[in-house]
Structure 1
Amino acid sequence: MTDTARTPALARAWVRAGTERVLAAVAGLDEAGLSAGTVLPGWTRAHLAAHIAANADALGNLVRWAATGVRTPMYASPGERAAGIDRGPALSAAELRAWLTDSAHRLAAGLDGLTDEQWRHEVVTAQGRTVPATELPWMRAREVCVHAVDLGAGTAFADLPDGFLTALVDEVREKRGLTGLPDGPLPDVAAWLTGRPHALAGAPELGPWL
């Protein structure tokens, strides 16, 4: 994938688009709707919404690291990520919406505040990768865009920006070590690569990604 295919500015636009879809989806759900399942085995919408909110908080830690130079891991402990996900079903619909909205706004404000120099500062992801802060918008774009589809509340891969889908396909194909892709519409190829439902005939089954 070329650098021009996925710039921080483009990634931030995809973050905004994905966040709008997540917030719109959850805005229409009550407790019963949030208790419904998703395409992710064992995850309800409440689990998934909590994961998206906790992810914003975790990436906010990396933003502070980039801004201050003080090492601030995404998660304080190995169990913190799971605890955030499990918190979802215990919250009311209003509480979950507030967490989603507030965490997204805090992350956006933190990213807005980074200087050109701070964007170049390196941080370490939860997977142990050392990356410049310019990678953070893409990390968030993946979360909100793909999980907006996973919520099963009206967003499909075909609704996501083509540029985002192209960047996603390039990244996941490389991570899965695939040299070729099945023929078909870009949204279906992206869905297949990430282990989500798709309409590609004869494509081998892949496990969930992200």
Structure 2
Amino acid sequence: MRRTFEDALVWSAAGTRLFSGAVAGWGEEQYRAPSSLPGWTRKHLVAHVAANADALGNLVRWAATGEETPMYSSAGQRAADIVAGAGKPAAELAAWLCESADRLAAGTAGLGPAQWNAMVVTAQGRTVPATEIVWLRSREVCVHAVDLAADVTFADLPIGFLVALADDIVVRRGDASGPAVVLAAADTGDRWELPGHGVATRVTGPLAEVAAYLAGRPHALTTAPELPAWL
């Protein structure tokens, strides 16, 4: 793994600033515009990111107290929170985004070394140390800052984050359910192999485009085969 806990802390803070900065000053018209995610307006996306901060805050409380606190109370809560948030007025949604991020930052700042090593369970059912919370948040705010369709691109994200994101996605795509692909980042020299069907397609391009491709986002890698969903 080519990322550290300290890296994730930096990326989480940077991604939060990038996401919040992208939506700063928006009114109803901007919030109601489509995001780049099919079927979601920007309101849906902002509500998702705000709800994610609250959900990760539950894991922080789990680590802090030892009391099992799942990210979501039920399988449908995540979707319900997004739908409810998408119906909020712009000012109320902006306040939720800011306040939830502040609550999460305050909660993580209060964890000690032993609490950071406590085991918690993600929404996908993975048991991980609490240190993973900041990586999950950095992934959320950085990738979704691009999904806002507000002139933020993968090229605007930290290089180290993009490498770590590609590493993470390749591990998750390791079930060989898609085509075999060998990816090379021409600008950094990094390389990844996706196991899969058939003879491996070799694809080379900028790191930002490689990361976008792996994440299932629009990219400029014209020879890259289509991949199944990432999450």
Q: Could you state the TM-score of these two structures normalised by the residue count of structure 1?
A: 0.95
Q: Separation in 2 of the partners of 1:183 and 1:65?
A: 42
State the one-letter code of the partner of 1:99: W
Return the offset for 1:207: 4.3
The farther-off stretch of 22-31 and 160-169 is 22-31
- 8 Å CA contact 2:173, 2:230 repeated in 1: no
2:173 is the alignment partner of 1:156: no
What do residues 109-130 of structure 1 show as CA deviations (whole Å, max 9, x unaligned)? 1111000000010001111110
Return the offset for 1:88: 2.4
Give the length in aligned residue pairs.
Answer: 207
Return the offset for 1:179: 5.9
- 8 Å CA contact 2:172, 2:230 repeated in 1: no
- 8 Å CA contact 1:73, 1:125 repeated in 2: yes
The farther-off stretch of 146-155 and 178-187 is 178-187
- 8 Å CA contact 2:33, 2:42 repeated in 1: yes
Return the offset for 1:67: 0.3
Please give the secondary structure, in 2, of the residue aligned with 1:73. coil
- Superposition pairs of residues 124-135 of structure 1, within 5 angstroms: 124-135=121-132
Q: Which residue of 1 aligns with 2:204?
A: 183
Q: Separation in 1 of the partners of 2:21 and 2:49?
A: 14
Q: Percent of counterpart pairs with the same letter?
A: 62
Q: Separation in 1 of the partners of 2:4 and 2:89?
A: 37
What do residues 148-190 of structure 1 show as CA deviations (whole Å, max 9, x unaligned)? 0000112100000000000000111121126621210000000
- 8 Å CA contact 2:45, 2:144 repeated in 1: yes
- 8 Å CA contact 2:116, 2:129 repeated in 1: yes
- 8 Å CA contact 1:196, 1:208 repeated in 2: no
Gaps of 5+ in 2: 175-179, 184-202
Cα separation, partners in 2 of 1:164 and 1:50, compared to 1, 3 Å: same
Q: Which residue of 1 aligns with 2:218?
A: 197
Q: Which residue of 1 aligns with 2:42?
A: 45
Q: Which residue of 2 aligns with 1:89?
A: 86
Determine which structure has the larger helix proportion and give its number.
1
Please give the secondary structure, in 2, of the residue aligned with 1:180. strand
The partner residue of 2:114 within 92, 112, 117 is 117
| More relative contact order, 1 or 2 (CA 8 Å, 6+ apart) | 1
Q: Separation in 1 of the partners of 2:18 and 2:228?
A: 25
- 8 Å CA contact 1:194, 1:206 repeated in 2: no
Please give the secondary structure, in 1, of the residue aligned with 2:124. coil
Return the offset for 1:89: 2.3
What do residues 59-101 of structure 1 show as CA deviations (whole Å, max 9, x unaligned)? 0000000000000000011111001111222111111110000
Return the offset for 1:208: 4.6
Computing the radius of gyration from Cα coordinates, the structure with the larger value is 2
Q: Separation in 2 of the partners of 1:147 and 1:138?
A: 14
Please give the secondary structure, in 1, of the residue aligned with 2:120. strand
